[in-house]
């Protein structure tokens, strides 16, 4: 298959690192369907051994390459603070290193199953958006059947500032939160564990290098301030949320835990999967000037939710959606986030909001999938679920594929819920 022609755009580039015929001397990276072929090269922070200090790594097949040792990049924070041109050049150097075998290089590998994968970086800030019009419409129909979408939705990327301190890496158990809930919308409330614990299938995006206070990131520059993406589960306590969200929005119903996958799949790796054109219908209002860019910003990323109860031997797939269905792009989220002068810093995390599509099988949370509990989900074990029970494990998975390019994966994001005695 021919090498893809080098194509440079305002936000990305296709070059020799995307060549589908490129192979690594790490044989597991060359297997069909591998999440981490040499065309991917996602970053993570890891410990090679229990005694070792955290270091920066890159996934290649079923191994992790010590990037700090091989290339002198001491941390994920350093990587994220780099200008885009330097990140692109580093990607090319790592690709060449993994394509040309040397005996010395083998000493820099750690088997993935023996490495301790950590949070990618210190989460400086966390903002969660509401960028799926399908999710917003479904939720709106439950509470406002006559006006599912509020008037501002097609004009402004709606979001809220989340809690950075409760972002945890995949595999971390999630304790069922306590909070105020009501039987009657007028109250009074009781203080108890949530009975409507939910997941939300999202994509996370890491910012870098960021902007100075008071200096917006323009739409044409926004893509340069996106380092890469991860899987994100925005755990939600729906009954707590229903009581507290008026008039200011989510608070304790969201701040108890947010799980993310350890791998940061770079925007450069995603470039072959950029979608042409504007995802919004021609009949909808066009974005305001500060949210308009000639370069398309949607990406074709398949995302799945899998659920396994304590009684199930294997998980079942609950839903499959695609990130290309989002109404607002990651670049638009960055431009809008900073349009008032709000600074983003290297390590700031942006959540896309629940990724849902037009079909029931595309719905990215149980609130939608069970239609607020009125259509329970049937499990292979004979159990039913309106919302999550203790012992339930939720796994998010994602990947990209397109003709003429190697499939790349995002890995997985796992979390199981529990209650204290």
Q: Just list the catalytic residues.
A: 135
Distance of CA 126 to the CA centre of its chain: 12
3-state secondary structure of 228: strand
Q: In 3D, which of 328, 322, 281, 278 has the Cα closest to residue 300? A: 322
Q: Which residue is associated with the tokens 């607002």?
A: 328
Q: In 3D, which of 124, 132, 123, 125 has the Cα closest to residue 353? A: 132
Compute φ and ψ for 119, nearest 5 degrees. Answer: -55, 140
CB atoms within 10 A of CB 199: 29
Judge if the upstream peptide bond of residue 209 is cis by omega within 30 degrees of 0. yes
Q: Which residues contact 73 (CB under 8 A, 6 or more apart)?
A: 56, 67, 79, 90
3-state secondary structure 6-51: CEECCCCEECHHHCCCCCCCCHHHHCCCCCCCCCCCCEEEEECCCC
Judge if the upstream peptide bond of residue 74 is cis by omega within 30 degrees of 0. no
How far is Cα 263 from Cα 270, in angstroms, rounded to an integer?
13
């Amino acid at each position: 298959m021919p090498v893809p022609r080098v194509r440079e755009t305002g936000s990305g580039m296709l070059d020799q690192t995307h060549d589908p015929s490129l192979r690594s001397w790490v044989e597991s990276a060359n297997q069909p369907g591998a999440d981490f072929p040499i065309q991917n090269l996602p970053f993570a922070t890891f410990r090679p051994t229990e005694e070792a200090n955290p270091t920066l790594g890159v996934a290649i097949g079923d191994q992790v390459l010590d990037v700090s040792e091989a290339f002198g990049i001491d941390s994920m924070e350093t990587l994220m603070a780099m200008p885009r041109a330097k990140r692109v050049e580093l990607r090319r150097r790592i690709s060449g290193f993994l394509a040309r075998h040397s005996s010395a290089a083998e000493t820099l590998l750690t088997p993935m199953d023996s490495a301790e994968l950590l949070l990618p970086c210190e989460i400086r800030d966390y903002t969660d958006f509401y960028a799926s019009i399908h999710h917003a419409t479904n939720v709106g129909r439950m509470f406002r059947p006559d006006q599912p979408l509020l008037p501002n939705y097609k004009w402004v990327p709606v979001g809220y500032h989340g809690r950075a301190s409760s972002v945890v890496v995949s595999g971390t158990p999630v304790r069922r939160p306590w909070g105020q809930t009501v039987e009657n919308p007028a109250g009074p409330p009781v203080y108890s564990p949530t009975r409507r614990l939910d997941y939300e299938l999202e994509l996370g995006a890491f910012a870098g290098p960021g902007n100075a206070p008071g200096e917006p990131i323009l739409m044409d520059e926004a893509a340069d301030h996106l380092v890469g993406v991860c899987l994100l589960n925005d755990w939600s306590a729906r009954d707590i949320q229903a009581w507290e969200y008026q008039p200011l929005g989510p608070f304790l119903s969201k701040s108890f835990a947010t799980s993310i996958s350890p791998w940061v799949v770079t925007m450069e790796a995603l470039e072959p999967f950029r979608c042409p054109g504007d995802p919004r219908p021609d009949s909808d209002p066009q974005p305001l000037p500060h949210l308009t860019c000639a370069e398309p910003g949607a990406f074709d990323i398949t995302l799945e939710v899998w659920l396994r109860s304590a009684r199930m031997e294997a998980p079942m797939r609950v839903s499959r959606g695609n990130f290309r269905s989002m109404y607002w792009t990651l670049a638009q989220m960055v431009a809008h986030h900073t349009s008032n002068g709000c600074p983003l810093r290297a390590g700031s995390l942006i959540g896309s909001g629940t990724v849902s599509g037009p079909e029931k099988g595309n719905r990215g949370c149980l609130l939608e999938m069970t239609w607020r509990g009125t259509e329970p989900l049937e499990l292979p074990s004979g159990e039913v679920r309106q919302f999550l029970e203790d012992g339930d494990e939720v796994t998010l998975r994602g990947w990209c594929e397109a003709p003429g390019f190697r499939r790349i994966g995002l890995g997985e994001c796992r979390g199981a819920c529990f209650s204290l005695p």
